[in-house]
Structure 1
Amino acid sequence: MAVASHLDAEVALPPLAPGPHRARLGVISIVACFGGLLFGYDTGVINGALRPMSAALGLDALTEGVVTSSLVFAAAVGALLGGRLSDALGRRRMLVALAVVFFVGTVVLVLAPGFEAVVAGRVLLGLAVGGASTVVPVYLAELAPFEIRGSISGRNEVAIVVGQLAAFVVNAILGSALGHLDGVWRIMFAVCALPAIALFVGMLRMPESPRWLAARGRHDEALAVLRTVRAEDRAVAELAQIERAGDAPDGGRHDRLRLAEVLRTPWLRRGLLIGIGVGVAQQLTGINSIMYYGQTVLVESGFSAQAALIANVAPGVIAVVGGLVALAMMDRLDRRTTLLIGFSLTTLCHVLIGVASVALEPGHPIRPFVILALVVAFVGAMQTFLNVATWVYLSEVFPQRMRGLGIGIAVFAHWLANGAIALGFPSLIGAVGITGTFFLFAAVGAVALAFIATQVPETRGRSLERLEHELAAGRPLARRR
């Protein structure tokens, strides 16, 4: 009966209406997505900065891996802490704090005298990147109406790839114009300070998540926020729905779930494992081997170092194009369908890259261009069907009382897989070359495809409250009506 009454409440919600509140929601999403832009720039800038940094600081293969992966492993910790702290302190307050960490980490890195200080700066940036990777998607999902939640939440992933593309373009320009300077890598990193300042100033003027406020019994504040991003009748009805769903316990007590309780409850435990699986599967496609070591892959395929730096912009461009296409599809195509198409295409691209590297011997004149085209196709498929869908999915699948904990643990696992690739990819390429590396990614992709097909529930077209009730009722593969 509880589920039925909840569904009735959702059906009774007034439809979305045009008005200034829609523009306000757009402004909020743009400001919050500076966190995604920072995420993208800080993870992508190493792609072009690593070689001049290594030359200036005398890094070897091991220390290059440590510099690259230190941000990623720190991001795993940041994701875990960010989710929990955002539950306690609020989504908005956490984003303001993360902007400060982004700025401080950038200053440390730019002024670093040697390897140890570089790692310290990368760790600080990693903590901020990990925190942003959990807090921004949740903040956007909790503010967005369920009808357009996918396209609102997905803007963060588009911001991430825009940040990565910006890093690739900045690297190419600075590398070409100022490549003769020993400190050109410091300038590449310094650019990160600008969006950090924009995030800090912008979030000071943004509202708190209405669901976070309601979960603490602060109903009047939650309604005031909803009135700025919804029409009046929709705001009142939506707050009533949140309250009926039990997101705001009586007396204002925020009844957060602890990990032990999640692990004892079968449907919560299964939801947590699904979130972890989706996050890890996305990383094990090897997408960040291209984002971090794209120049290395292209040099291995036959490009010169300078040509590889410029050619590396192509995957960044297709990532942004794919992200925009994904954003347009996100409220039209089911999440499961999107993920299944994505893993099918990326696995096919892995196989083709492996085959091309076998069929075209090193030194063959068309080898680098064929591999570049296949890498671009892989990044395009990844961004169009997997990256945006993954982050939207993780922001949706957890119930309110464990949302910060759940996404924090899922993204923690995501970053650990990312870090393993960041640390091990240079050695893997050295040991088995492009051929073995991408055939290995293809095998992992086939396993991920089976996991998505058999275990992942649909989340599109449901409010966060309705989805929670459906998962609790044991309908894990329920399709949208």
Structure 2
Amino acid sequence: MMTNTSSNVTKYSLIAAFGGLVFGLDLLNISGAMRFISALFGLDDAQQGRIIGSTFYGVMVILFFAGTLCENFGRKKVLLGIALAYTISTLLSAFAVSYEMLLVGRFIGGAAFASIMVSAMYIGEVAPADQRGKFVSVNQLMIAIGIFLTSVINYFLLQYLADISFLSNENVWRYMLGSELIANIVWVTLLLKIPESPRWLLKKGRDEEARKAIEKIIPADEIETFISDVKESFHHETKSDTLTQLKNLFHKRMFLILAIAIVYAVVQGGTGMNAIMSFAPMVFEQVGMSTADSFMQTVILAVVNLTAVIIAVFTVEKLGRRKLTLGGLALVVIAHTSVWYGFKDTTYILDAPALANIQEQLKNEPVDLNKLQTLIGKTYESDIELKSALNETFTKQELPLASGAVINETIQGIKPIAVLFGILTFIAAFNLSIGPIMWVIFSEIFPNNVRSIGLAFAALIQTIASWSVSELFPWSLNNYGAANVFLMYAFIGLGGLIIMFIILPETKGKSIEALEKDLVRS
């Protein structure tokens, strides 16, 4: 019986977390597609940022209703609705004929990220306390798998673009985004096979249905204790509407829980992970890599990302949430400081040999490189100055295709080892710690009587932090420079490290009901 219940928990957790794979696919797909979309639609920095940011707008809207929907209809039905919404998003994005249509598709696509919050809620409610961290971390593992698959596919699409008759610069991004439809269909099919959360069923008084679900995930000799503990945690409350949950959530008794959730959400979203992944080729172009090399580095980044998450999944129950969080944040600060150091002394010089190399790299691209003649012999003291000059030189259609090659051939004084070490260390640190552990913490700290609204609120704060960083990323690079952008991320990480050292308790091995007794002030 133990083997069956354990196997079922694993299966249900993987299915619930499959939305993370869809999100990972989309996160790096839009990264690979961005230069082609920008060239086709002639996008400026703000519009590029908005393509990424529109997804977060969608998440924010959904999260306002997600808690209420989860409370009224259950976790399973909300996950199904999110999966279907994301299918619509994929179709609109892949067949977009204008910038505005793509924005609408991306906006609806925010549903995929909202699924991470709902699946964390679901997994936290079906997994046993001593394995909950591992199972909730599966969310991040699925994201990492999606990122890895997409990085490999995008790299080969770019490498063999000229050899595949039906692909071109104008349509390759449609195949990138459209490929997500396969994952969407698989996800919808799998979701039909999971039971509803037994805690939600018990809360709704549907005891018989709850018992059938519990029998699939809890050993027979523990069922009665489980039911008793869960019912006791509701404190005999009969009202669980949104307004009641909000009042309970923002009561002074919940101060510590809210403080942990808000700080963790701001730090996880504000240290730049989604911006770096969404604009990965753009980041590597700042180092002076060609477009092909930048996509290859994105594959390496995805491998590091996946490896780190796998390590986190198998260490979260051994090392605990607090140690992994604090150790990871310390590494985040070191990593971003290393990137800042690598970029801070760069200059850019365009001479005749550099121009010849640029012409060779871009010989098959629709870019008028004669425009660069007026820049020959000039030295730019920062990437800000160079990008300003390129903005004045090229059209919006030409700039995304030309900027990487120009940076690649003109950059001087950069410390590429420090930059690459910093970026890869950050990816590893994030996915070893604050990436997956945040969702573990969120799935554990909110009591049953505010669970739906509490998780949605925390996810909303994280989304706002991620959105502000991601949407402003292209603009920030061009106006503040790469060095200062990463220095800002380092300071956010340092602030989070100090605060979390003071307020974050260890939560491993405790039931949701036991944590309520520890964290809610009387």
TM-score by length of 2: 0.83
Q: Is the 8 A contact 2:17 2:116 kept in 1?
A: no
Partner in structure 2 of residue 151 of structure 1: 134
For residues 144 and 393 of structure 1, what CA distance do their matches in structure 2 show?
14
Of 156, 159, 170, the residue aligned with 2:153 is: 170
Higher mean C-alpha deviation, range 76-85 or range 209-218:
76-85
Q: Is the 8 A contact 1:211 1:247 kept in 2?
A: no
Cα distance, 1:337 vs. partner? 1.6
Structure 2, gaps ≥5 residues long: 163-167, 349-410
1:53 aligns with 2:41: no
For residues 199 and 299 of structure 1, what CA distance do their matches in structure 2 show?
34
1:297 aligns with 2:283: yes
Cα distance, 1:469 vs. partner? 1.4
Higher mean C-alpha deviation, range 69-78 or range 150-159:
69-78
> Residue 258 of structure 1: SS of its match in structure 2?
helix
User: Number of paired residues?
Assistant: 455
Partner in structure 1 of residue 342 of structure 2: 356
Higher mean C-alpha deviation, range 284-293 or range 73-82:
73-82
Q: Is the 8 A contact 1:79 1:132 kept in 2?
A: no
1:123 aligns with 2:107: yes
Cα distance, 1:380 vs. partner? 0.5
Q: Which residue identity lines up with residue 394 of structure 1 in the other structure?
A: F
Cα distance, 1:420 vs. partner? 0.7
Cα distance, 1:360 vs. partner? 6.2
Cα distance, 1:48 vs. partner? 0.7
CA offsets 1:344-372 (integer angstroms, 9 cap, x no match): 11001111111122356663597435422
Q: Is the 8 A contact 2:347 2:413 kept in 1?
A: no
For residues 165 and 75 of structure 1, what CA distance do their matches in structure 2 show?
23
1:202 aligns with 2:190: yes
Q: Which residue identity lines up with residue 339 of structure 2 in the other structure?
A: I
1:186 aligns with 2:170: no
Of 104, 119, 122, the residue aligned with 1:139 is: 122
CA offsets 1:370-412 (integer angstroms, 9 cap, x no match): 4223211110111112111111111111111111111111111
Cα distance, 1:55 vs. partner? 1.4
1:18 aligns with 2:6: no
Cα distance change on mapping 1:137 and 1:263 into 2, 3 Å = closer
Q: Which residue identity lines up with residue 235 of structure 1 in the other structure?
A: I
Cα distance, 1:188 vs. partner? 0.3
Of 96, 101, 123, the residue aligned with 2:80 is: 96
Cα distance, 1:125 vs. partner? 0.5
For residues 323 and 86 of structure 1, what CA distance do their matches in structure 2 show?
27
Cα distance, 1:264 vs. partner? 5.2
For residues 416 and 221 of structure 1, what CA distance do their matches in structure 2 show?
37
Of 297, 310, 325, the residue aligned with 2:296 is: 310
Q: Which residue identity lines up with residue 297 of structure 2 in the other structure?
A: A
Q: Which residue identity lines up with residue 29 of structure 1 in the other structure?
A: S
For residues 239 and 150 of structure 1, what CA distance do their matches in structure 2 show?
21
Q: Is the 8 A contact 2:342 2:417 kept in 1?
A: no
Structure 1, gaps ≥5 residues long: 1-16, 475-481
| Paired residues for 1:253-272 under 5 Å | 254=240, 258=244, 260-262=246-248, 265-272=251-258
For residues 316 and 208 of structure 2, what CA distance do their matches in structure 1 show?
32
Q: Which residue identity lines up with residue 227 of structure 1 in the other structure?
A: E
Cα distance, 1:230 vs. partner? 1.9
Partner in structure 2 of residue 230 of structure 1: 218
Higher mean C-alpha deviation, range 197-206 or range 259-268:
259-268
Q: Which residue identity lines up with residue 7 of structure 2 in the other structure?
A: A
For residues 149 and 315 of structure 2, what CA distance do their matches in structure 1 show?
24
| Paired residues for 1:82-481 under 5 Å | 82-126=66-110, 128-178=111-161, 180-246=168-234, 249=237, 254=240, 258=244, 260-262=246-248, 265-358=251-344, 363-364=411-412, 367-473=415-521
For residues 139 and 440 of structure 1, what CA distance do their matches in structure 2 show?
35
For residues 443 and 234 of structure 2, what CA distance do their matches in structure 1 show?
19
For residues 421 and 205 of structure 2, what CA distance do their matches in structure 1 show?
54
> Residue 97 of structure 2: SS of its match in structure 1?
coil
1:33 aligns with 2:17: yes
For residues 417 and 300 of structure 2, what CA distance do their matches in structure 1 show?
12
Cα distance change on mapping 1:264 and 1:53 into 2, 3 Å = closer
How high is the sequence identity, in percent, across the aligned residues?
27
Partner in structure 1 of residue 356 of structure 2: none
For residues 314 and 73 of structure 1, what CA distance do their matches in structure 2 show?
30
Q: Which residue identity lines up with residue 182 of structure 1 in the other structure?
A: E
Cα distance, 1:69 vs. partner? 1.0
Cα distance change on mapping 1:237 and 1:380 into 2, 3 Å = same
For residues 385 and 472 of structure 1, what CA distance do their matches in structure 2 show?
25
For residues 70 and 134 of structure 1, what CA distance do their matches in structure 2 show?
18
> Residue 481 of structure 2: SS of its match in structure 1?
helix
Cα distance, 1:290 vs. partner? 1.2
Cα distance change on mapping 1:256 and 1:422 into 2, 3 Å = closer
Partner in structure 1 of residue 165 of structure 2: none
For residues 236 and 10 of structure 2, what CA distance do their matches in structure 1 show?
26
Cα distance change on mapping 1:91 and 1:137 into 2, 3 Å = same
For residues 263 and 197 of structure 1, what CA distance do their matches in structure 2 show?
36
For residues 58 and 359 of structure 1, what CA distance do their matches in structure 2 show?
31
For residues 243 and 273 of structure 2, what CA distance do their matches in structure 1 show?
33
Structure with the bigger RCO (C-alpha within 8 Å, sep 6+) is 2
For residues 264 and 355 of structure 1, what CA distance do their matches in structure 2 show?
42
Cα distance change on mapping 1:110 and 1:201 into 2, 3 Å = same
Higher mean C-alpha deviation, range 328-337 or range 139-148:
328-337
For residues 27 and 460 of structure 1, what CA distance do their matches in structure 2 show?
22
Q: Is the 8 A contact 1:211 1:242 kept in 2?
A: yes
